[in-house]
Amino acid sequence: MPILVRTLLFTLFIPGSVVGLVPWWILRETRGADALALGLLAPLGFALIAVGPLVYLPCARDFLRVGRGTPFPLDPPREFVATGLYRWTRNPMYVGFAATLAGEALAFGSWPLALWAASMVLVWHLFVVFHEEPDLRRRFGASYERYCAEVPRWIPRPRHESRP
């Protein structure tokens, strides 16, 4: 199956479920028809919702073009990706997804969505620390160690041009 198709399928089923299907289900089950009763924080929430795709799409493109792989952890990039948004944070996709989930909770004034967002952030953190980072250290060695020393795990920070 072509890499682009694998990426599209992963995007539809995994991020699509986590930031789309599950939040929709939570809203339906907890608020019913009132889910569209937007609060004062709705504009901020909708702005944060937009962050997810704006972050995910260029990252997925970099995984395809530079890394020759997909965002799916079982079909990861074959080459190390430290370009684009990966120059500012080691996990921009998760940061974008977290922003989207937080935005959904704000836009719809939903504590159950906020709980879902917090639980996913915890799951992603544990997955990164105990699976992804050890795997990347094993696969890419010293270059990944240098990258970790220069680029923060979660909070984006622009890099200086003199840094590798």
Is 41 in contact with 107 (CB distance < 8 Å)? yes
Quote the CA–CA distance of 164 and 154 in Å, as a whole number: 19
Look at 73 and 35; give whichever has higher pLDDT: 73
Domains of the chain with CATH codes: 50-159 (1.20.120.1630)
DSSP 8-state symbol, 85: G
Q: What is the pLDDT of residue 22?
A: 96
Lowest-confidence region among 25-29, 46-50, 128-132, 157-161: 157-161
Residue from 126, 1, 4 nearest 63 by CA: 4
pTM of the model: 0.86
What tokens appear for 77 in the block?
Answer: 């990039």
pLDDT per residue as tens digits for the range 21-62: 999 999 988 865 454 556 678 889 999 999 999 999 999 999
